[in-house]
Amino acid sequence: MGTQWNQDKISFRKLEESDLKLMHQWFNTPHVSQWWKIDGKRNPGYEEVSKHFIPNISGSHPTKCYIVAYGNRQVAFIQSALIKDNPQFEEAFKIDGNIAGIDIFIGEEQYLHKGLGSLIIKAFLTDIIFKIYNTDLCIIDPEPENKIAIRAYEKCGFHYIKTVWNPIDKVWAYVMIINKESVC
């Protein structure tokens, strides 16, 4: 029997400058650095993490970043943006419409592989993506080799549509999509 999670204990708050030390720590753990890079680099320094996220924190970049808490413990990071706000993604994905995209990682290792990620994503889709962004579709684009993430996204209701080259991260992206009716 797996861990019993309570969705009411999941909360999201906007990333703040005071979170950058935690983000640096998470980006330098093996389970995050295997799949996430900052400006093409795995295991970035604190200055690189700060430089990357300050535009998001200040609002000068369209991607919205959040720290995810379970109860009073910060456990994960999730970010979202409208695809139309990033022309490179819009061109690469070639999907029409008002579509949001998300990315997530569990930062705290003891919360991995226990089903919490799927629950976080469902809550984020319901509370943020399909409510605040007021869009009917959401995509997520793991690397095709990231089978654990793909399985978690499938559990949420995402389904595969195509594989494309991600020009920003310079990796292949296994594009998955979900519509509002599948979640809400």
pTM for the whole thing? 0.94
Structure tokens at 50: 């700060």
Has residue 181 got a pLDDT over 80?
yes
* Banded pLDDT at 1 (limits 50, 70, 90): very low
Task: Report whether 80 contacts 64 (CB < 8 A).
Answer: yes
Provide the residue ranges of all domains of the chain, joining segments of one domain with +. Answer: 8-183
- Judge whether 75 and 146 are in contact, CB under 8 Å: no
Give alpha helix (H) positions in the chain: 20-27, 30-33, 46-58, 87-93, 116-124, 147-156, 180-183
Does residue 184 or residue 17 have the better pLDDT?
A: 17
- Kindly tell me if the per-residue pLDDT of 89 is higher than 90: no
CA atoms within a 13 Å half-sphere pointing along the CA-CB vector of 142: 20
pLDDT band at 121 (very low <50, low <70, confident <90, very high): very high
Q: Stretch 37-51: mean pLDDT, rounded?
A: 94
Q: What is the DSSP string of 125-174?
A: IIIIITTTS--SEEEE---TT-HHHHHHHHHHT-EEEEEEEETTTTEEEE
**Strands across the sheet with 137-140, in order?**
10-14, 64-70, 73-82, 99-106, 137-140, 171-179, 159-166
The lowest-confidence range among 55-69, 84-98, 160-174 is: 84-98
Q: Return the CATH fold of 8-183.
A: Aminopeptidase (3.40.630)
CA gap 97, 6 in Å, rounded: 33
Mean pLDDT of 109-120: 94
| Tens of pLDDT, residues 13-39 | 999 999 999 999 999 999 999 999 998
Local confidence band at 179 (pLDDT 50, 70, 90 cut-offs): very high
